Amino acid sequence: MKTKLAGIISLALEESYSTQEIEGLLETPKHTGLGDLAFPCFTLAKAYKKSPTLIAEELATKIHGKFIKEVRVENAYINVFFNQLQFAKEVIHNVLVHKNQYGGKPKNGQMVVLDFSSPNIAKPFSMGHLRSTVIGNALANISEKQGYEATRINHLGDWGTQFGKLIVAYQLWGNKEAIEQNPIEELFKIYVKFHDEAVHNEALNNQARLTFKALEEGNDEMLSLWKWFRLASLKEFEQIYNMLGVSFDSFSGEAFYNDKMEFVVEELTEKELLEESDGAMVVQLENMPPCLITKKDGATLYATRDLAAALYRHKMYQPAKLFYIVGNEQSLHFKQLFAILKKMGYAFAENCEHIPFGMMLKDGKKMSTRKGKVVLLADVLKETIEAAKNNIEVKNPGLLNKAAVANEVGIGAVIFNDLKNDRMNDIEFSIEKMVTFEGETGPYIQYTNARIHTLLAKGEFTLSDSYLHYLDTEAWEIIKLLESFPNVVENAFSQASPAIIAKYSLSLARSFNKYYANTKFLTGESLEKDRLKVAYAVSIVLEESLRLLGIKAPKEM
């Protein structure tokens, strides 16, 4: 709608302003009585050396087309009213013909690599890991919708001094049989015990550092324990990912780059970027602290591994974009990482982007694995699924496939509760909010879509043609929302914000429910088919919105 009108205005101005420039100036009026779109003429006054009001009056006479019903001038604004039926015909036709392809772009032959989720092995998958997982998964889906190929990488936290701590904890307090029966819970228990004991016994930390150094150097006993911890963790993580419907192309974590870091250090040395600082080696950076590359004992760090990973991914995938979906507390780390890549002479650093997000809080504080203050994601998912089951038993006890629907609704509630928030905002953990299935929730959108499917079934709807012949005035807001979907997806990608799609889906569901409440759909009249076509188009876009967010859309609830 905006692009079409911008093109008409650009042509009327003899292309002295491009369609894109005009589109950037167009506004949506606060009141429908002021039109569907408005063009303020203030910007043109300097170039045309006339008053904005006079420019508006002259320009308004040149704005016409089959989609334009009326043009009014108010002060320096040109208010444009669209021909609703004519416009709705094209929008509904596009949605019904393209179905779930609507709003997308053709494949562009480029790749987006996304680094997300990345839990630490031998630690439980907590609510703290949810944000990276669902934001990253949604951005991967959105990237594909925009024509990119998406490569999903789970950069597991499977290396570092914490494994020295875990191995020492196992050697001191571990029970092999108990760990084999319940690996994550038992490993987590002894990890927490290590930190409790280390508060009063600094020797434990020294022992852990030496143990990790032995692990880095390939000690057989240490490697054997590490492999066991990793395999046990992955099996448990896979259960969570299967529940969430999240998959990965690679589980290459920090350990994968263990034999690739030496080359990074050598290259930094050759390019004279390394400096000694108190026995450690650092890279000096402008307007930020120096970045530590190796410790005094020669052990590598997080930054060394991320440099190796970035270089490997660039060589392996040649991505157009490389997204790191990691919490905002790591912002400095990624600024340093990208700055070092630039200093090394790698132009692809410009294509690297940190996608930060706020924390999941409990009682106003960050959840801490180290202190044992975690809420397990698996427990939350079980609770929301159970709440969905209870809801179904009350409202629709005769529903077939109750268990499958409860899974889709309960898990969708958790995912949507996260993604509806602007990602930079912190979220206070609340199981009560997650299991509320009314208001601004995923189940509300799922229910709206299921209601439409029930309506279509009752009306025995079949798609004989994809054009409207009639449009209720009450459906006009729906048409405008459907038409905006391609721009919504594009903005969600450019701003790396799934919340844009989540909020859009709420608006579309609310708009349809308002229309549904005030309209008789199943009248037997000829206009019934047109109303059902609008409903069907809404269902298509709601289902695609949910799919992009990583949420299922049951046909019945």
Domain map (residue ranges) of the chain? 2-82, 112-269+299-366, 377-549
pLDDT of 444 reads 95
pLDDT of 369 reads 53
498-517 helix and 402-419 helix, angle to the nearest 10 degrees: 120
Q: Are strands 321-325 and 352-355 parallel, antiparallel or unpaired?
A: parallel
Cβ pair 5, 37 in contact under 8 A: yes
User: Which uninterrupted H or E stretch holds 354?
Assistant: strand 352-355
Give the 3-state secondary structure percentages of the chain, helix then strand then coil, rounded to 5: 60, 10, 30
Name the 3-class secondary structure at 366: strand
Beta bridge partners of 281: 276, 294
Q: Phi and psi at residue 124, in whole multiples of 5°?
A: -70, 150
Q: Which two tokens stand for residue 33?
A: 């009585």
Beta bridge partners of 344: none
Q: Are strands 111-115 and 321-325 parallel, antiparallel or unpaired?
A: parallel
| CATH code 3.50.50.60 for 2-82 | no
Residue type, 429: F
The Cα 205–Cα 209 span in angstroms is 6
Per-residue burial over 418-443, b if 16 or more Cβ lie within 10 Å, else e, is bbbbebeeebebebeebbbbeebbbb
The Cα 3–Cα 95 span in angstroms is 18
Quote the percentage of the chain above a pLDDT of 90.
83
Name the 3-class secondary structure at 302: helix
Top-level CATH class of 377-549?
mainly alpha
- For residue 287, the Cα-to-chain-centroid distance in whole angstroms is 30
Cα–Cα distances (Å) from 98 to 1, 21, 199, in that order, read 18, 29, 62
Residue type, 337: L
The Cα 29–Cα 127 span in angstroms is 41
Name the 3-class secondary structure at 149: strand
Cβ pair 132, 116 in contact under 8 A: yes
Top-level CATH class of 112-269+299-366?
alpha beta
Q: Which two tokens stand for residue 421?
A: 């928030």
> What is the mean pLDDT of each successive set of 10 residues along the chain, which is 557 residues long?
92 92 94 93 93 96 94 96 96 97 97 96 88 98 98 94 94 93 89 93 94 91 95 90 97 93 95 94 96 84 93 98 97 98 98 95 69 77 93 92 96 95 90 78 96 96 92 96 97 98 98 96 90 98 98 96
